[in-house]
Amino acid sequence: MSERENESGRDVSQIVRGLGWFSIGLGLAEILMPGKLSRLIGINKEENTLALLRFYGFRELGAGIGILSQPQEPMWLWSRVAGDVVDLSSLLKALNSEENDNGKLLGALLAVAGVTALDVYCAEQLSAAGSSEGRGQRMSAQATETILINREPDEVYSYWHNYEQLPSFMKYIESVTLTGEGRSHWVAKGPGGIDLEWDAETTEERPGQFLSWRSLPGADVHHAGSVRFDKATGGRGTLLRVEMQYAPPGGRISATLAKLVGQDPGAQIKEDLRRLKQVIETGEVVASDASIHPGMHPASPPERVEDLNLALSPVS
């Protein structure tokens, strides 16, 4: 029995290494020649596809490097499974276009489905082995952001503590549902439009001063963080400080690649805090979807000079 288990383990290890090299090869192809790859799988609308394929390529590179450097870590395989789901979703969406070659697309869809099954099998085998129990919770990246809000700490704390209204300023959070004492269920929009879900628990709370939380086992996104609400000097309101640690699929390598393609969680937190400042100080996020101006600004210019002066006056 032991010999069979050892042989099975060797077989899985060989498949895992093969998937690692496959991921690197596919990633390089998606980055270096997305046009040829697009036509090969039957997608003819290259204009909207090249950037997406390059993004997928960076993802594949991160997963491949991780698999080869840590072949016993199931997180890398599970990150491939998540990527496979995104790929399948993209291919199914492409099937709805008459401009694409549905025959080639169906072939690509079957190929990706086969690789997905292999990824799931290997990930389950590594997870069942127990050699990496608890590693999925390791935090491999962190972000810290601060912002000054012209409201008292108690008011800012009260707004944040009402978790179900966090989607009003957190761009990628779809919903937050309270599930019990100090626990909540989160749904977020991930890359490729895929939904990411997790349960979280509040680990410490000091009303008007401090909140901390962490995700629970089984989360799609493992993370922990805290928010500090300090009274700003000179009666200027609240100095809010967010610290967050997270473990993106693929670890540090994927986190670095994400920054290169504009998916840096640190930048997302900074933008979310700007939106929070607007919501608390003005009651809404003031921005124009069609605007070419970067950063925060009025959705449309005021028509009267009086309105302009009012808009520029400080919020009391």
How do the domains of the chain map onto residue ranges?
2-133, 137-282
Residue 265: the pLDDT is 65
**Confidence at 209, pLDDT banded by 50, 70, 90:** very high
Q: What is the mean pLDDT of residues 36-63?
A: 81
Task: Give the integer Cα–Cα distance in Å for 282 and 308.
Answer: 15
For residues 116 and 51, the model is more confident at: 116
Name the β-bridge partners of 197.
Answer: 187
Task: List all residues 6 or more positions away from 101 whose beta carbon is below 8 Å from its beta carbon.
Answer: 42, 43, 44
Specify whether domain 137-282 bears CATH 3.40.50.1580.
Answer: no
Check if the beta carbon of residue 237 is closer than 8 Å to that of residue 148: yes
C-alpha 185: how far from chain center: 16
Half-sphere exposure of 136 (CA within 13 A, CB side): 21
Q: How many CB atoms sit inside 10 A of residue 263's CB? A: 18
Check if the beta carbon of residue 290 is closer than 8 Å to that of residue 278: no
Task: Pick the closest to residue 157 from 220, 210, 217 (CA basis).
Answer: 210
Q: What is the mean pLDDT of the chain?
A: 77
Q: What is the pTM of this model?
A: 0.49
**Confidence at 298, pLDDT banded by 50, 70, 90:** very low
User: In 33-188, which ranges are continuous DSSP H helix?
Assistant: 34-40, 50-69, 74-94, 102-129, 153-161
Beta strand pairing status for 183-189 and 222-231?
unpaired
Check if the beta carbon of residue 269 is closer than 8 Å to that of residue 145: yes
Task: Give the integer Cα–Cα distance in Å for 197 and 219.
Answer: 7
Q: What is the mean pLDDT of residues 64-91?
A: 84
DSSP letter for 191, please.
G
Task: List all residues 6 or more positions away from 157 whose beta carbon is below 8 Å from its beta carbon.
Answer: 207, 208, 209, 211, 229
Residue 229: the pLDDT is 96
Check if the beta carbon of residue 211 is closer than 8 Å to that of residue 160: yes
Task: Pick the closest to residue 16 from 90, 106, 119 (CA basis).
Answer: 119
Residue 48 in this model has a pLDDT that exceeds 50? yes
Beta strand pairing status for 210-215 and 195-206?
antiparallel
Check if the beta carbon of residue 72 is closer than 8 Å to that of residue 131: yes
Residue 137: the pLDDT is 45
